[in-house]
Structure 1
Amino acid sequence: MFKNRSIILGIGIGIIIGALLLQVMSVRASAPGQAKLAMEEMDPQKLKDETSKYYQVFDKSAKMYTQAELDAVVQQKLKDEAERIAAAKPKDQPKTTAPEGSPKIILYVQPNLDATAVSDLLMKSGIITDRKAFVTELEKQGGNTKLQIGFHSFEGVMDMSKIVTNLITAQ
């Protein structure tokens, strides 16, 4: 009768199996779930303990800070502490200050940073004052691809050639 009888037979069997699977799924979805009952029976503290295994659980009344708010609170606390220390320090004692040496600055160069990103880091940390001079010195010494990843120490006032040499040599 049909030339492609096996295709028609396969489609028919597939439809029958699909209908059976659909019936099994619909019967299972209407059955009362054990997890649903277990959650309804738990008191709030037990529920909080169970969920804290997998998630961070906070009370509604707990104040959540954004990073900017946290930074502002920390700065205020530091200022208050500095004022408290200044008030507690006796006034008749001579002030002891750090020696007038240049500070030691340690800079971390991350992987995949190009010369402009490194110059931005150096500019923000106060090691250099002119980005273009740094980039031209780096190109002159051929260090665009030779920047070493890791920590680099800068102490005192350094000229551009020493800064570039420090960045392209391994520590």
Structure 2
Amino acid sequence: MTMKTELLELEMQLLLLRYSEDQVLRALAEAQSKPLEEIQRKVTSLREKKHTAKTTKPAKKSISETVEELAAESPNRDLLIELAAKYENKRFLPELKDVKRFAEKSGISGSMPTRESSAKRLFTALLGFERNQLEGILSESPGSGESAFSQLSRQLIEGSSE
């Protein structure tokens, strides 16, 4: 904040203390030859913007939304979105250790402190999978006794031997 801005704010505070807000707004409207209502609307609008800017944070995207954006042009978009839903419900790579093992096998580098923060890297890698590999991952039943990582490893091996 510049010195001029600070001085202006101090002067405004003094005016508001000496006179009421209503009197200050009336004087401002008169000085600018504008209707009082217009000045009041502007002040209200500025207050709302200032309050909104302080209180609202951008909404965090869900994993499904992130994957929808990543896979927008992919021919396997439908399968990737379905996998994203399973990932969110922990029916696909349910634990961080599963995600880390998959990343290691797939050559994905970087820190993966949580499942959620790893999702974008994971699905970026899955964009490179063939349709039959993705279908195979989706068709595996989670209760087959085989971990999600084992299923993925098998899919990777089968895909690379073709």
TM-score tier (shorter): under 0.3
Greater fraction strand: 1
* TM-score calculated relative to the size of structure 2: 0.23
The TM-score normalised by the length of structure 1 is 0.22
